[in-house]
Structure 1
Amino acid sequence: MIVVSYREHDHDKLVEIWESAVRATHTFLEEHHIQFYKKVVSDVLKQRQVEVWEVLNTEQQPAGFIGLHDDFIEMLFIDPSQHGQGLGKLLIKHTFRIKGRHLKVDVNEQNPGAAQFYQKMGFVQIGRSALDGSGNPFPLLHLEIR
């Protein structure tokens, strides 16, 4: 597995990974929420509003990705068939190398697997919001590592 900078020709595959990961882990979302956020993620990736790094499998195909804005992890999604195989950890370690060890991330409170993953990586909760960034009633945990 290797980490490479965003490859435009992988755009549709990254959106597909996002959707399959969200359907596997964000069971609190209704279909209209998924479609709304899918468009947001697609636009963010296409317009390069975040710095994106892909993890590639042995066939050089994307298996996951991370989106960064300065020291903030905006998104981290792994193909559900690859969960638990160290790809998220690989992307976090890559982020440490390029951004340093002071990172922040927001995690949906209703996605305990993600919160547990970040805690294993050394993140601690520093706050909580009742609404997500779009004003929806999906509480966010604010995490940070120093």
Structure 2
Amino acid sequence: MIHSIGPYQEEHHQQLVDIWFRAVKLTHTFLNERDIQFYHNIVQNGALKEVEVWVYFNANENPIGFIGLEGAKVEMLFVDPNYHGQGVGTSLLQYAETIKGSHLEVDVNEQNEAAHKFYKRYGFVQEGRSELDSAGRPFPLLHLTLKSKNEGL
């Protein structure tokens, strides 16, 4: 798949919010409509501007995924559901590893089993757990750290 990865630009804001929304509706089945609206407001009104966002563009130069980083921590990683399973998320993690180093961290919702499996396949291991998410809501988080490919050698 021909693609490019570039920095967040305001002109793509609404497209990224739409990707977030459609991905969350598909993958975060433990959230009700009120919860989704709560988080949607956060993403719509500032979350994308509070972190370093890198956008994955397809061959037609349309955004189809993005990763938000705060230092070496992955704060968000969302892919257009039409492109799930096609390597977009992996490419974004590889890009993050290239620019931030191999000690990436991520928090993943415990109820989002597909995301947990995705990060585990990539090499992340669980280091901890919190009962509440970062907004103080009762959605437990698993704290994952990327296990260095050189560890244990």
State the match for 1:127 in structure 2: 128
| Superposition CA RMSD, Å | 0.7
**1:1-146 superposed matches below 5 A:** 1-42=3-44, 43-45=46-48, 48-145=49-146, 146=148
Output the CA distance in 1 between the equivalents of 2:121 and 2:9.
29
Q: Which runs of 4+ in 1 moved over 6 A?
A: none
TM-score, with structure 1 as normaliser: 0.96
Task: Give how far 1:30 is off.
Answer: 0.7
Deviations 1:22-66 (CA, angstroms, capped at 9, x unpaired):
000000101111111011112111xx2100000001110000000
Output the CA distance in 2 between the equivalents of 1:91 and 1:134.
25
Output the CA distance in 1 between the equivalents of 2:7 and 2:129.
31
The number of residues matched between the two structures is 144
Larger radius of gyration: 2
State the match for 2:151 in structure 1: none
List runs of 5+ in structure 1 lacking aligned partners: none
List runs of 5+ in structure 2 lacking aligned partners: 149-153
TM-score, with structure 2 as normaliser: 0.92
Counterpart amino acid of residue 112 in structure 1:
E
Output the CA distance in 1 between the equivalents of 2:70 and 2:53.
9
Helix, strand or coil for the counterpart of 1:59?
A: coil
